[in-house]
Amino acid sequence: MDHLEFRLLGSIDACVGGRRLEIGPRKRRFVLAALLLDLNRPVPVERLIDAVWEGGPPDSARMTVQGHVYRLRKSGVRVESDPAGYVLCADPDHVDALRFRRLAARAAQEPGEPGADLLETALALWRGPALGGPGGGMPLEVAGVELEEARLAAVEELARRRLTLGQPERAVAPLRAMVTAEPRQERLVSLLMTAFYRLGRQAEALELYERTRRLLADQLGVDPGAELQATFEALLSGHTT
């Protein structure tokens, strides 16, 4: 029997048997996300209201949230009432954000290539910005930032492992994707430059450095930090480690 799969690492969605469920409007998706982030635990209505409205909620907020919960139930999402609020009941393995965190935690306990493989599996769950990007109230904003920080840390750790294992070709794709999205992340730029260099692509490494240097100067009025500058100088001297 097909079960519901919930997705937060990109747009907020639910799927069954590979078919996307019709969840409804944006605010209903915010309610769904807030329930999923506290999966199998009671979520007070007040927290759901905070998750839905960025500013002050309307007088009808409680009734609106109750309506969204009703519609989620009608679409097949198992949401139970609780004295403390509402509980979305599901297997954590069926929520991509929770699966990502568990895989990343397992990877931290696995040395070498097995851990790197787990990180690749975890990062493959991402389809776009966490929780569909900016939007929603403070609880979702905070959760989105935390998920993006965990993603960045996973990409960095994966790259370091692949470089240590002598597999720079397997570090390039995840690094390039993250640097494209976060071009001012100097540690990732440094790692991508190193991967390029080890693949014999020194010109790309130096071009990336120059592009980042200009970006930092134009947007922040600063020079590259010590780590990125050291990587640049090591590439020029041919003394990368």
pLDDT band per the 50, 70, 90 thresholds, residue 239: low
**For residue range 135-156, what is the model confidence (pLDDT) as tens digits?**
889 999 999 999 999 999 999 9
Residue 9 in contact with residue 36, Cβ under 8 Å? no
Element (H, E) at 81: strand 79-82
Q: Which of 133, 111, 98, 121 is nearest to 10 (CA)?
A: 133
- HSE on the CB side for 196, CA within 13 Å? 21
What domains lie within the chain, and their CATH numbers? 1-167 (1.10.10.10), 168-241 (1.25.40.10)
- Dihedral angle of Cα 191, 97, 140, 28, to the nearest 10 degrees: 140
**For residue range 153-200, what is the model confidence (pLDDT) as tens digits?**
999 999 999 999 999 999 999 999 999 999 999 999 999 999 999 999
Lowest mean pLDDT among 2-6, 198-202, 212-216: 2-6
- The pTM score is 0.91
pLDDT (0 to 100) of residue 135:
85
pLDDT (0 to 100) of residue 66:
96
Residue 171 in contact with residue 158, Cβ under 8 Å? yes
Structure tokens at 5: 């799969």
pLDDT (0 to 100) of residue 55:
79
